[in-house]
Structure 1
Amino acid sequence: MSTAITNVRLFDGLEVHEKATVIFEDGKIKEVRLAKDQEVKADTVLDGRGKTLLPGLIDAHVHAKSPALEQNMLFGVTTALDMFSFPEWMNDLRKQAASRFDVSDIRSASCGGTVLNGHPTMLIGKYFPTQFPVVASVAEVGPFVAKRVKEGADYIKFIIDSGSQFSHSHPSVDEDMAKTFVQEAHKHGKMAICHALDANSAKIAVRAGVDGLIHVFYDVASDDEAVQMIADAKIWVCTTIVTLGALAGESTGNNVAEDNRVMNILPPKLHNNLTCCWGPKRSPASTENALSITRALHKAGVPILAGTDACGIVGLGAVYGASLHGELRYLVEAGLTPLEALRSATSIPANKFSLRDRGVIKTGLNADLLLVRGNPIEDIHDIMEIDSVWRAGHLLDRKKTQADILSIVGTE
C-alpha cells in the first residue's frame, strides 16, 4: 500500500521546501517531488495544504521504561536513545520496537559507567531496583565496557559527576578512568558519551577524548575555555534543559504542562509529573545557566542535540514524548532558530549516532514521519499541532495509543 502526501510544506531534516509531494510504500520513502502540479498515483492520497511534514523526531537522551515507546509515538518521537538502563528492561523494549509499529524505535547504552556511591546511586530503590555494576579502578574499566558490548550496548556512556553543580560532594569517575572508558569504547567500535553537569567535569571529558556530552554543563553562566575546548574537539552536546532545570529545583516542565495539547492527552499521573521538580532550589546550577551555556555552544558552532533525560514517573519535570517539545522550545529560547532546533531532533542526532536510515526525508530511507498543522519553521509551538505520525510507513492510531498508555500507568 502506497501513501502520498501532496501540497505539503516539507522540512526534510535539513532544509524547507514550501510545496512538495512525498510518496512512501513498504515502510520506505519511495519518492520526494519538489516540482509542482505533477500527477500522483498512490493508494492513499492526503492533501497537505496548511501542514508541515517532518522526519519523525529523535529524543537523544531518555531512560526508557514502559510506556516510554508508546508515549514517544503519541508525540511524534519515532526514535529514542536510552542512556542508562538494565539490559533486562532493554531486551523487552527492543523486542517491542522490532515487532510493532505503534511504538518508537530504541537504542541503548545499557548500564552507564560510574563508581560506587557515585551518580546515580541516589536513584537505587526509586528508579533502579538494585545496585548496578560499577568500576573501582582503571583496571576494571575494560571488562566493564566489554560486558556492556556483550549486552548489546549501541554506545558506551560514563559519568563524571562530583556533585559540585549542586554544592554537594560524592565519588566520581576520575580523569584516568575517563580516558580508559574512551579508549575501550573506541576499541569496540562504539562511541564514548559522557554525563558531565559542571564545567570542570566537561573539561575532563573533552581531554579524555569523548565523542559527545549527554548534558550541557550548568554550574556557571559562562566558561569560555570549556566552550572553546568543546568546539575545538568537534564534540556534540545534548542539552536536556527540561530535566536539568527540574534537578536544580525549577519547574521547567511547565513550559509544556500548561499546553492544552498535552493536558488533554496525558493521564493525570504523568501530567502531574511534568509540573514537579526534584526538590528545593539547588545552586549554583540553574535553568538560566543551561540556557546561557547552550547559547554559547551554539554560537561557537557546536552541534546541538535535543534530548529530555525523561525516565518515567521518577524523573520529575519531564515525561517521554511531550518533553521533547518542551526542549525544542528551550533551544529556541537559547538562540537557535526553529529550523535549527528541528534539525537538533532529526538529522543531527541521526548523523551523530550513525542512524543512516532516518532523520531525513529522502528516497530509500525509513518512512518515519510527522505531519503537523501549521508551520513550526516559523513558530516552534506548531510542532505540537500533530495531525499524523507514521513509523516505517504505518499510521499510528493515536486514540488507541492514548488508551494504551492510560491502561499502563493507571488513573490515580
Structure 2
Amino acid sequence: MKRILFLVFLFIPALLSQAQTLLLKPDRVFDGEETHAGWGVVVEGEMIADVGPIAGLSADQVIEMRGMTLSPGLIEGHAHVLLHPYDETNWNDQVLRESRAERVVRATVHATNTLMAGFTTIRDLGSEGAGYADVGIKQAINKGVILGPRMLVAGRAIVATGSYGPRGFDPAFDVPLGAEPADGVDDLVRVTRDQIGKGADFIKVYADYRWGPNGESMPTFSKEELDLMRRTAESSGRPLVAHAGTEEGMQRAIWAGVETIEHGDGGTRSVFRAMAEKGVVWYPTLAAVEAISSYSGWEKGKDPEPTRITVKKAAMKVALEEGVLIGMGGDVGVYSHGKNAWEMELMVEYGMSPLHVMRATTSLNARTFHLSDRGTIEVGKLADLVGMTGDPTEDIKDAWNVTFVMKGGEI
C-alpha cells in the first residue's frame, strides 16, 4: 500500500501542475453522512469545487478510482504522536530515558505513517513529558518541512500535584513528569493561560488518575477547579477536555462543561445519560485497552477476556443505549501510528455499525473539534480526501485498504 501511495504522490503533483481542476471518479462517495453510488468530486486548488453524479461533472484531468470509496479525510480523535507502543518501550522510560531529540524524530515518522493511513487530521492529547514539542511538529507539518496530518495539540496537559507519573522514585528526587501540575485558583489560571500562550489548541485536564490509597483511580480536581479551567480556556476560544475514567471524575467533568471525555471506563447509566443530555462526546479508546492487555500476555480469541475489556464492552452498550455521541479516537501511540483503523474495527465489534463509525471518524469528529472546513465532502470544504478499496460503510475492515490520500488538494 505504501508503495502505491508513494508512486501516486510522485505522479500527481506533475499532473496537477498542468491542470486547474481534477475530477476524482470512485465507485461511490461517502460524504461524511451518507454513501452515494456513481458520484464524483471535483478539486480545484486546495478546495472541493463540485460534487455529485459523475455525469454532471467535468474537469481538466480525471483520476479513475475503480472499486474504491472516496471519503472525507479521516480524523483521529485521540493520538499521542510523541509516544510509541509500550511493548517497545514502557511509558516511564519514554518519558525519562528517551531524549527529546529521539522522541521528535520518532514523531516525524509517526506523522507520516498516520497520513499514509488516510488520517488527514489528528487531535493530539498531550506531549507526555516532551514539553511543547507537539506544537513544533504541528508547525513543521504546516510549513511543509515534514509530511503529516493537520494537528490540534494540547501541549503539556494539566494534572493535580502528586497525581501523575512517572512515580516510584525516592521522594527526595524530583523527576520529570508526563504533564504539568497546577493547583488552586491562581495557579490553575496561570498554567491554563501559559499553555494557551505556548500553542495549545485546547486544554486537556486529568479529572482523575491512579493515585488512590491502593493505586486505584480517584478524582483529582474539584468541580470548581475544573469549572475555573473551563472558563479560562473558553475565554480564549478554546475548549476544555478531560481524561476521566471514574464515575465521580466523569460527573465532575460533565458538570464543569468539558466538551469531550477520554476513556470513561467507569461510566454508569446516569453518567452516560448526562453526557447525552449535555452533548459531551465520548472517546472510549478501545484499541489502547486491547493493546495494553495484549502486552500483558493476553491472546485474543484464545485466552479469557480481561476484566477491563468486559467493563469497556458493558460501558459501550450502555452509552449506545443512552444515545451518547461516540467519537473515533483510539489513544494511538499506545499502539502503532498508522494502525489507527484498529479503533474503528473495535467500535464495530463493540456494537456500532460501520456507517456510524465512519460518521464518527469524519463529520462527528470535525464538528466536535470545531473544524467547519473539513469532515464532509461539500463544495467549499478542504480537499482532504481518502480513497479506500471496497466500502467501509458496509465492512469497516475496508478502512485498512487506503490506496489514495489527498490533503489540501495535494496527493
**Equivalent residue for 2:55, pick from 33, 37, 40:** 37
**Equivalent residue for 1:14, pick from 23, 33, 37:** 33
Q: Counterpart of 1:138 in structure 2: which amino acid?
A: V
* Secondary structure, aligned partner of 1:293: helix
Q: 2 CA distance for matches of 1:25 and 1:235?
A: 36
Q: Relative to 1, partners in 2 of residues 1:234 and 1:88: Cα closer, same or farther, differing over 3 Å?
A: closer
Q: Relative to 1, partners in 2 of residues 1:383 and 1:119: Cα closer, same or farther, differing over 3 Å?
A: same
Match of 2:409 in 1: 393
1:130 aligns with 2:176: yes
Matches within 5 A, 1:13-412: 13-34=32-53, 36-38=54-56, 40-43=58-61, 45-65=62-82, 66=107, 67-85=109-127, 86-100=130-144, 102-122=147-167, 130-131=176-177, 132-163=179-210, 168-169=215-216, 172-215=220-263, 217-219=264-266, 223-247=268-292, 286-311=308-333, 315=334, 318-322=335-339, 324-395=340-411
What TM-score, normalized by structure 1, do the two folds share? 0.79
Match of 1:407 in 2: none
* Secondary structure, aligned partner of 2:229: helix
- Asked if the contact 2:217/2:246 (under 8 Å) is kept, the reply is no
- Asked if the contact 2:242/2:260 (under 8 Å) is kept, the reply is yes
- Spell out, residue by residue over 1:105-158, the C-alpha distance to the aligned partner (whole angstroms, 9 max, x if none): 11111111102231344599xxxx933431132331111111011012111110
Q: 2 CA distance for matches of 1:104 and 1:308?
A: 16
1:186 positional shift:
1.9
Q: Relative to 1, partners in 2 of residues 1:25 and 1:214: Cα closer, same or farther, differing over 3 Å?
A: same
Question: Which consecutive unaligned segments of at least 5 residues does structure 2 have?
Answer: 1-15, 83-106, 170-174
Q: 2 CA distance for matches of 1:329 and 1:223?
A: 24
1:373 positional shift:
0.8
Q: 1 CA distance for matches of 2:31 and 2:408?
A: 16
Q: Relative to 1, partners in 2 of residues 1:6 and 1:198: Cα closer, same or farther, differing over 3 Å?
A: same
Q: 1 CA distance for matches of 2:363 and 2:194?
A: 30
* Secondary structure, aligned partner of 1:344: helix
Q: Relative to 1, partners in 2 of residues 1:72 and 1:251: Cα closer, same or farther, differing over 3 Å?
A: farther
Q: 2 CA distance for matches of 1:56 and 1:343?
A: 11
- Asked if the contact 1:28/1:393 (under 8 Å) is kept, the reply is yes
Q: 1 CA distance for matches of 2:57 and 2:232?
A: 54
Q: Relative to 1, partners in 2 of residues 1:106 and 1:39: Cα closer, same or farther, differing over 3 Å?
A: closer
Q: 1 CA distance for matches of 2:343 and 2:378?
A: 26
Q: Relative to 1, partners in 2 of residues 1:170 and 1:374: Cα closer, same or farther, differing over 3 Å?
A: closer
1:250 positional shift:
6.7
Q: 2 CA distance for matches of 1:178 and 1:391?
A: 36
Q: 2 CA distance for matches of 1:183 and 1:33?
A: 43
What TM-score, normalized by structure 2, do the two folds share? 0.79
Q: Relative to 1, partners in 2 of residues 1:329 and 1:120: Cα closer, same or farther, differing over 3 Å?
A: farther
- Asked if the contact 1:81/1:107 (under 8 Å) is kept, the reply is yes
1:164 positional shift:
7.8
Q: Relative to 1, partners in 2 of residues 1:8 and 1:87: Cα closer, same or farther, differing over 3 Å?
A: farther
1:251 positional shift:
7.1
Q: 2 CA distance for matches of 1:203 and 1:343?
A: 27
1:189 positional shift:
2.0
Q: Counterpart of 2:24 in structure 1: which amino acid?
A: I
- Spell out, residue by residue over 1:39-68, the C-alpha distance to the aligned partner (whole angstroms, 9 max, x if none): 63322x122332100011111111123122
1:218 positional shift:
1.5
- Spell out, residue by residue over 1:324-375, the C-alpha distance to the aligned partner (whole angstroms, 9 max, x if none): 2111111112221101101111111111111111111111111111101111
* Secondary structure, aligned partner of 1:173: coil
Q: 1 CA distance for matches of 2:229 and 2:350?
A: 31
- Spell out, residue by residue over 1:174-204, the C-alpha distance to the aligned partner (whole angstroms, 9 max, x if none): 3332222222222222111000012221112
* Secondary structure, aligned partner of 1:287: helix
Q: 1 CA distance for matches of 2:353 and 2:371?
A: 24
